[in-house]
Structure 1
Amino acid sequence: MSLPALVALALPAAFAGGGTRRWFGGRAESQRAQAQEAKDAAAAAFYELDTAQRDLRISIETITAVDDSPAARRAASDFEGLGRRIDEVSQRYIQAVDAHDLDRADLEAAAATRARAELTAARDELVRVKQELERFGGSLGPLLGSAETLLARVAPAVERARQALLAASNALDGVREQGLRADDLAGRLAALAPELTKLNQGAGQHGVQQTLERAERVQREAGAIRAEAEGLPEKAAEIDHRLVSLRTRAQALTTRAGQVDPVLSELRRRFAAACWQDLQQVPAQAVENVRQAERKLAEAKAARDAQRWADATSLLSTVRALLNATDDAVSAAGDRLARLNAVQKDPQAEIERTRFAIRDAQRLAMTGRATPDPRHARPLDDAVARLDRAVAGLEGGRHPDYWHFLTETDAVRQAAAQVVARIREERGGVAH
């Protein structure tokens, strides 16, 4: 056969056989490899976006767990919007992957090229959304920092609450060993048990802010219980001391009350009725007050024995008030006689003392002025006139009303003192 005939016979075989397959196969394999690289790059971008989204979701959950501000709610809403955008680009990536089987033996170059283009576009979208996600994450810095700071306080706060409860329980055990029941404190401590249960359940169930507030409340209340428990022995000793002291004082007042009648007798004999009539009931009232005080003391003793500390303290306060009133009334009789004796002997001393107070106020009113302010001059003029009337009341009569005179001079001095205080306040305000 001739060479041209052999060539003619070989050419169809060359185009239909290995020669043609090697040329197209080499190009397809190259496109397949590039498409596979695009697929791997898209897969890496998809993984990185997914990781970034999961990390950012943790940040958002941290913020929303502790912060209900408009800024925090807006951040959560923005994150949801980004999530929808991520879902869209992720779906396109998955569709691109599913649409092209790069492992097919008969993959054509054109199909590989299309696959590479679609996968590259999917990767680019994934990268762009990840960049948006990163920018958004960067804007959360202040919110996230505040939230993390608050979260960091939870565990220490809960632990402090637990330690405070333990300390309160130990303090109660200590006072019980001394024979003090402290039932009310034990009841208050038992009431904190549900709060401790909620603390143990954690902030995830009850909220961070609520957990912090609960921990602080428990710590505060447990601390108060502990302090009161530790103070119980001292309180018991103080109540015992007050019982003895007030009982002794009641006995002494009984003796002093018996001395009022001679004082009243002298007042009746030497002074006008107006000087002593208001003291007539002092002896009987003193006896009644002391009797009531003794009954309350017995009740206080019973409350102390029953360890009703609040009741004992309240009753002792009542006893003290009764004895104070009695002491004042008994003392008033003796003081009245002493003051009346002094003014009867030398009324001029009381008059001069009062005039000095008026003149002192008048000098202050005139300081820096040619004429006094009428607001100051008028009450001082009234005080002068009132003193003159009081002095005139002492003239004539066998038994002047010295007590009225003394109450008037007291009132005049108070009026002068009020003017002085007003002037100083006004001038001090201007200077300031």
Structure 2
Amino acid sequence: MTATHAQPHVGAKASAVRDVLTVLLLPVPLAIAILPGAFAGGGTRRWFGGRGESARADAQAAKDAAAAAFYELDTAQRDLRISIETITAVDSSPSAQRAVSDFTALGRRIDEVSSGYISAVDAHDLDRDGLDPSSVAKARTDLTKAKDELDRVKGELDRFEQGLGPLLDKAETQLARLAPAVERARQGLLAASNALDAVRASGLRADDLAARLAQLGPELTKLNQGAGQHGVTETLQRADQVLRDAEAVRTEADRLPERAREIDRRLVSLRTRAQALTTRAGSVEPILSELRRRFTAECWQDLQHVPEHAATTVRQAEEKLKEAGQARAEQRWPDATALLGTVRALLNSTDEAVSAAGDRLQRLNAVAKDPQHEIDRTRFAIRDAQRLAMAGRSVPEPRHARPLDDSVARLDRAVAGLEGRHPDYWHFLTETEAVRQSVAHVVSDIREERGAGA
């Protein structure tokens, strides 16, 4: 029984009772062997015939039954305490804390009925000579009452144990996961260490990976210290995190040789591209000269900065390439990767600017030669949208008709702008493109609305 709230003598007496009870519950021949003086030849008990002997036997039976009930309650409490300790080792939720509190309250009731049982046993010596019938009757009554109280609390304990089922199942599941989780973490660290050794053997330092792996050392120490020191939940979480981190290190170590080769390829490729862009950038100035000669300023003035921009960005890209090459030589892989990304962005910007000048001249030449193609293309888009807006209707929706009407007027103004000696062909192209985008937006709205209503 729990000794938390019992009187000091209860635990000692309970122990003595359990010792006697152990003998009482043995098979009869063994009990006789242990207590040879208890029966024939001992001369310590006088049994009276008739009613007295029967009453004394009934009282003794009540005492034996009470002892058995005491033993069962004690055993059940011990088993339940193990379950409570299992739960508290894993679960700190309010429901688990409430279970601990309820178990403590049950322990106090168990102490009370145990004390009552021990007092009843102490108060009645059924082996005493000259025991009068009234004393025998009282002994039977008190011991029966003690047994009933023990049984009642045992019933409470059984019901409490049944209610612990979900909490106990969860805790046992957690505990069952513990050892495999810790072992997986250890194996993950071993695999990461082996992968790192293999990379270093190939001539790659992998200092950053080695530093990350070293940071997991204290976590492994805590795993080895066990859940008894750090708790089951925390240990499970730590094991999972260590496994994830170790797996990441192993994966990156396995990929490192290919990563190094990829960085080498990108260095060569981007150097070649930078050289090619330097050559292409030289063609921008002649293109600008032709644009200035043949078209109005509005058609080319936004491209004036392209030669200077191209020269600047290519120079920046070449500087970053040198830094990336140095980072590769020093095996600073993240730095090398980041620098190569910067080089690529600079070259992309240069490529777009250089291409824009050539594309501008090509488009202006085409529209100057035949503006009707652009006009027809835009009018077709407007008519197609108008037919869709009228499909199944006698009158189009105003929210669709209005932007389409505006697009027609906008196209007419753009066409009118081509008249004169020096038309602004670039304004014409940007206007027709804007009209087609507006029309496409109306078409998308119509289809979306009709699709939703289908």
Same fold judged by TM-score > 0.5? yes
Match of 1:288 in 2: 312
Aligned to 1:268, what secondary structure does the other structure show? helix
Match of 1:429 in 2: 452
Moved more, 291-300 or 252-261: 252-261
Q: Aligned partners of 1:357 and 1:142: how far apart in 2?
A: 68
Is 1:245 paired with 2:276? no
Q: Which runs of 5+ in 2 are unaligned?
A: 1-44
| More helix as a share of residues | 1
Aligned residues: 410
Match of 1:410 in 2: 433
1:230-309 correspondence to structure 2 within 5 Å? 230-309=254-333
CA deviation after TM superposition for structure 1 residue 314, in Å: 1.1
Match of 1:15 in 2: none
1:100–1:400 CA distance, 2 compared to 1 (3 A):
same
Q: Aligned partners of 1:334 and 1:400: how far apart in 2?
A: 20
Match of 1:332 in 2: 356
1:404 aligned partner, one-letter code: H
CA deviation after TM superposition for structure 1 residue 203, in Å: 2.5
1:313 aligned partner, one-letter code: T
- Pick from 179, 197, 207 the counterpart of residue 173 of structure 1: 197
Q: Aligned partners of 1:243 and 1:24: how far apart in 2?
A: 112
Aligned to 1:371, what secondary structure does the other structure show? coil
Q: Which runs of 5+ in 1 are unaligned?
A: 1-20
Cα RMSD of the aligned pairs, angstroms, is 2.3
CA deviation after TM superposition for structure 1 residue 48, in Å: 1.2
2:447 aligned partner, one-letter code: R
Is 1:47 paired with 2:71? yes
1:1-400 correspondence to structure 2 within 5 Å? 34-104=58-128, 110-397=134-421, 399-400=422-423
Cα deviation digits, residues 342-375 of structure 1 (max 9, x gap): 1111111111011111111111111122112221
Q: Aligned partners of 1:169 and 1:106: how far apart in 2?
A: 84
1:234–1:23 CA distance, 2 compared to 1 (3 A):
closer
Match of 1:8 in 2: none
Q: Aligned partners of 2:255 and 2:425: how far apart in 1?
A: 53
Moved more, 241-250 or 192-201: 192-201
Identity among equivalent positions (%) equals 76
Q: What is the TM-score of this pair, normalised by structure 1?
A: 0.88
Q: Aligned partners of 1:113 and 1:390: how far apart in 2?
A: 121
Aligned to 1:179, what secondary structure does the other structure show? coil
Structure of higher CA gyration radius: 1
Moved more, 116-125 or 151-160: 116-125
Q: Aligned partners of 2:166 and 2:326: how far apart in 1?
A: 62
Q: Aligned partners of 1:175 and 1:351: how far apart in 2?
A: 64
2:287 aligned partner, one-letter code: V
2:69 aligned partner, one-letter code: A
Query: Contact 1:28/1:107 (CA < 8 Å) preserved in 2?
Result: no
CA deviation after TM superposition for structure 1 residue 339, in Å: 0.8
